[in-house]
Every structure is written in C-alpha cells, then in structure tokens.
Amino acid sequence: YEKAKDKDADLVICDYAVEIQDTGKTVCPDIGKNYEGKPKEAFMKDLLKGKVSGFSWNKLYRRDLIERHKLVFPLRDELENIEDQYFSFRCLLYANTAAFVTKPLYHYRVHLSSIVQKYQAGLFEDGLALYEANLDCLTKHGELPALKEALHVFIVNHGCISILNECKSRNKNPSIEKYKNIRSICACPEFRGKIPAVDMSAFDSKKKLLLMLIRLRLMPAVYGFSAIYQKMIEHRMKK
C-alpha cells in the first residue's frame, strides 16, 4: 500500500516465497529486482511467455482501475485452470503504472502433489480459450503488434505443458485415452501453426525436442518422450 501511494500506481506486485512442504525447500523468485524500473510491457511479455506467473494473490489493485474497465474473473467453468492470469493480464494492460515490492510479502505453502502430479482435465482447452480471448483483447486495443510474438510463445508453451499434463502420474486415464488427447492437442491449428513462427530460444532443449517431434508428426515418439520428460520433472521436484 505504501508503494502504491509513493508511485501513484494502479497495480503493485510483490515478491513471494514458495515453500514445498514435502521437501522443505523454499523458492523466492526475484520478481521485483528483475522488473522494477522497467516498463510494464516487459512483465507482460514474460507473463505470456511463462517466465513469471499470473497469480492474483501477490498483487494489489487500484479499485478504480477494476471498476472503470469492468474487470472480472471468469467463471470457474469458463477458464477453470488459469482464471488468475486472465484477470492479471488485463489489469496490467489497463494500468497506467505498475510498481514492484522487492520483499516476499506472501508465503505460499504447497504440497508437491498439488503442483507437479495433479492432473488438470481440460487444461489445453482453457489455455486455448485464454489465447483467443487475449488475442481479441489486444487486437481491439491496438496492442497486438507489441505482444504478438509473446502471445505466440504462450500458445506453443501451453501446448507443451498440456501434453506433459496428459503424462502426469496422477492421470489415471488409460494409455489409449492419453495418446488420443495428445494427438488432439498436436492437431490443433492454433498450436501447431505457431510452432514454426516462434523464436525457439524461448524454450529449453527438452521442449525444443518435443516441438521438433510434433512438427514431424511422430506421434508415438511425442507420447513416449513426453512420458519420460514428465517423469524427469516429477523426480527432480521430489529432490
């Protein structure tokens, strides 16, 4: 609140600590240090690219900003998995000034199973709906040219995450159902069509390999590699 008053900011974002209870590990992303003093567009681009999270609980919003632009969270059955990012992105878009607090004022305690292993049904469809909503929003407000590349990275990255989601250990669907869902994701024009257009430097080596297999339409290899990739993620988090 003091930062909001000092900077006359419409939006203030603070650092936070994530404590993974199963391992005792605590992670503190340096959000404030990385973005303080930079234009808000830098944060918006990295939000779309998945470099920062769109949580609503580490942000303070000017009430007038929300009321003036009629900003609301989508209903749970509309964007079940990513409603926070929908709201935060629009607040950033409309905010005249965004400020940052370089202290972890929020302590987030999570269980390993809730962030790594939990299967999210309909995850890809929710992300696709968010992509289309953001595309429409940015087009209407003339902001698409500045954020088009980041928006493309969002849908490509989201497609990869959704494929890995199908391979989570908590997904009890039969293998044939997982394979069918992965094929459906890979066949989506909005996802597949953006792969050749994005800068591959936005992705690590494992995602680059996954995207190459998708472009080559090697679906059995996509499924097999994704299963191995997801097991690696879960094993690393347990450590």
Average pLDDT over residues 89-118: 86
Amino acid 115: pLDDT? 57
User: Per the structure block, which two tokens stand in for 59?
Assistant: 């942000």
What's the mean pLDDT when you consider all of the chain?
A: 92
Q: Which of 2-11, 16-25, 34-43, 139-148 has the lowest mean pLDDT?
A: 16-25
* Range among 17-31, 63-77, 191-205 rated most confident: 191-205
The SS3 of residue 59 is strand
Helix residue ranges per DSSP H, 72-174: 83-94, 112, 123-140, 144-166
- Looking up tokens 């009890």, which residue turns up? 172
pTM of the predicted model over 0.85: yes
Amino acid 116: pLDDT? 54
Amino acid 194: pLDDT? 96
Q: Which of 184, 173, 179, 162 is nearest to 230 (CA)?
A: 162
- Looking up tokens 């472009």, which residue turns up? 215
DSSP states of 20-43 as a string? ETTTTEEE---HHHHHTTS-HHHH
pLDDT tens track for 189-221:
999 999 999 999 999 999 999 999 999 999 999
pLDDT tens track for 158-180:
999 999 999 999 899 999 999 99
